Amino acid sequence: MIPVGVGRAEEETDVYGSSCASIDLIKAGVDLPKLKEGDLLAIMDCGAYSIFLSPDFHRKKPKILFVDEKGLREVRD
C-alpha cells in the first residue's frame, strides 16, 4: 500500500473498501500518513477484490486500471 503524493505525519490505520461490510478489510494496522478526503492510495496485489466486493446498490462501480509492460490501461470506466 503506497500513499500517493502525501507528506504528513504517520499514524496506524485500518484501510477498508467501499462496501460498508466488516469483511471489506484491505489492510489492518498499516502505518500511513494522516489521510483526508481526496487522498489517493495505490493498493498493490489485491487481485479482483474490488469486483467481488463492490455491490451496485450504494454507489457507482469503481474504475479498474491495469498496468503492465505496455503501460496503463482502463479496463472499466
Longest dimension (CA), the chain: 36
Query: In the prediction, which pLDDT does 29 show?
Result: 93
Q: What is the rounded distance in angstroms from the CA atom of residue 23 to the CA atom of residue 43?
A: 17
- Whole-Å CA distances, 67 to 45, 51, 64, 71, 75: 12, 17, 10, 6, 10
β-pairing, 25-33 with 71-76?
unpaired
Give residue limits of the domains in the chain.
2-76
- Enumerate residues 6+ apart whose C-beta is below 8 A from 47: none
* Structure confidence by residue, pLDDT tens digits, 12-47: 989 887 776 777 788 899 888 888 888 878 787 776
Q: pTM for this structure?
A: 0.56
